[in-house]
Chain A
Amino acid sequence: MALLEIQDLKVRFRTRYGPVTALDGVSMHFEAGETLGVVGESGCGKSITALSVMGLVPSPPGSVDGGSIRLADEELIGAPDRRLRNLRGSEIAMIFQEPMTSLNPVFTAGDQIAEAIMLHQDVSKSEAFERAIALLDRVGIPEARRRASDYPHQLSGGMRQRVMIAMAVSCQPKVLIADEPTTALDVTVQAQIFELLNDIQQEFGTAIILITHDMGAIAEMADRVAVMYAGRVIEEGRADDILDQPLHPYSRGLIACIPALGKETDEEGRPPPLAEIPGVVPPLHLLGDGCAFKDRCNHRYGPCDARIPVLTDATAHPVACHAAEEGRI
């Protein structure tokens, strides 16, 4: 049985353009000790999926209109706020993209971690602070005891993200959601953070949900991948399958458009021109009939305008695309 299972999740938002469906029947499952990568551009519903799991969809204007989220057989949708508050931090924890804005600037790093520990465990303040120091040491902050009394602005970006991770793993959560954890960081620091997340996963058997728009990060971190577009999962499978044989035109585009190292080059060392996905993600209130990707797709044909494609098992791995289902691409 899956550790965490999302089924047919629907989230709507009231906007000035009328109600829009931010998540339309999203299903995913997460296993202990495994990393699921959730990929897509901004506005595809990746972060809303994460916030739903945390029970943090802002309401109003948002509302969870259906589906279920089960953590080890416990239904989270409709669970009392008290219960959700208990789960957040202890069972499910989250690290955000921008560590500077998610840390409180007027408390020291050690105090903030100690606060998280004291919320969930019955320990004294000094004991919590000692544990915070141990955690800072664990996430690779040099001179942890001294750094524990530093304020966030005294730390570098990489160290701030390490503090966030220390806080997130302070109660050994079963599920760790990492929402673009390295987008604001240098590549060298990104490599360090990825390694740290992998170490933590091995040590505690944490299920990691990695939200990113970078297929390079997916290659390095993910065991399985769910590709999202306009509030739906449009392709899912093992990371290797998706990277080597992407079926959906959008997944193919996402892989072809990154200027990653390791692609072929000509004799001058010039890589081939980048493939483009034309256009942008459509605003949710302007989604017409049929496939949401059709306007950006070069495999569009009859059924794409008529019906929204659903995930099918008829292909090598599940994909929601008429053309792929018919074997046209």
Chain B
Amino acid sequence: MTAILEVENLTVRFPMPKTSLFGPRQHLEAVRDVSFSLPEGRTLGIVGESGSGKTTTAMAAIRLTGPATGAVRFEGDDIFQLDDEAMRTRRRHMQVIFQDPYSSLNPRDRVSHIVREPLDLLGGAESDNEKNERVRELFALVGLRPDQLNLFPHQFSGGQRQRISIARALATHPKLIVCDEPVSALDVAIQAQILNLLGRLQQQFGLSYLFISHDLGVVRQVCDEIAVMYLGRIVEQAPRAALFARPRHPYTQALLDAAPSLARRKSAGGAKRQQLKGDPPSPINPPPGCAFAERCPRAQQRCTAERPELTEGVACFFPD
């Protein structure tokens, strides 16, 4: 199986405002030394709490945020080395579905135009008629009616808006779609509809998804492989079955423990669980050792002094 996207040592550093005129400039390292590869037609999930760098990782991987260092190969070509025009033509093969279907659609634009816009900007030589025909086809594909083509975004519900986002992302026949929390703003019933739609489309077109979510239940539903991020680094990466059956990193275990489950009942005493205290440390001047050490039940002296590297899918000195 060939990889459609290979990310090597990706690091994203944002400069912070200087605190004093002569003081050193501080940097916020949102993503540090992240590597993964996404095989064609598969789904890689990135999970983590807010601030863990999952969105920045995905956006850097399709060159939508800078300044990033490292290498990202899309179908073999390092996209950080491409010039602007070459990158622009590549964009038709990589599209994004954003989290918030309210702010990611232009409120003043008719939805038919919103869906058509990628074709106008990135499309090939299609005629106007072909483009309009494509928009109708996309509408049918995502389960919207042709009579809704000329409405405005506010006339749709959240779930329908997310369908419009998906239609827009599909317009240019992309190979890779970055799904940035595509269902976290939706009601559960609608969430299931959208997840199933994404699954059907993947089967039909052989799409590859880079799927960002904080919800482990959702990730288990759609992802073949999962990377868990903490403070800008991948702390554990494993295929779905292994990660959920035998999580090895204490952070992954804590995340799984915290996830809501139908099996944990209040009537059964509301099973006290291993709980994470506090918040992650600041990404400005992160601690020298393991970033998770101060919240980790297994932490020992070594953890605060040395940083564990990601080996055999887990970055921990004392994995399970």
Contact = CB atoms under 8 A, between A and B. Distances in A.
Q: Is chain B a partner of chain A in the same complex?
A: yes
Nearest to A273: B196
Contact of B216 (A189, A243, A261, A267): A261
A293 to B, nearest CB: 12
A157 to B, nearest CB: 7
Nearest to A157: B50
Contacts of A257: 188-189, 191-192
A220 B265 contact: yes
A223 B189 CA distance: 23
Contacts of B267: 223, 238-240
Interface residues of B, number: 51
B241 A216 contact: no
A278 B190 CA distance: 8
B195 A274 contact: yes
A9 interface: no
Contacts, number: 157
Interface stretch (B56-64, B110-118, B274-282, B310-318): B274-282
B39 to A, nearest CB: 15
Contacts of A274: 192, 195-196, 221
Interface stretch (B4-12, B79-87, B94-102, B256-264): B256-264
**How large, as a class, is the contact surface on chain A?**
35 or more
A86 interface: no
Contacts of B278: 142
A188 B264 contact: no
Contacts of B263: 219, 261-262
A220 B270 contact: yes
B199 A220 contact: no
A277 B258 contact: no
A47 to B, nearest CB: 13
Nearest to A269: B241
Contacts of B158: 42
B265 A219 contact: yes
Interface in A245-270: 253-255, 257-263, 265, 267-270
Contacts of A261: 216-217, 220, 244, 256, 259-261, 263
Given A187-B215, A192-B277, A216-B259, 6 more contacts: A187-B258, A195-B275, A220-B265, A240-B265, A259-B218, A273-B199
6 contacts: A35-B266, A223-B266, A255-B262, A260-B217, A261-B217, A269-B242
Interface of B: 49-50, 157-160, 187-193, 195-196, 199, 214-218, 220-221, 239-245, 254-267, 270, 273, 275-279
Q: Which 8 pairs across A and B sit closest by C-beta, in order of nearness? A: A269-B241, A216-B260, A257-B192, A262-B263, A191-B258, A259-B221, A259-B217, A274-B192
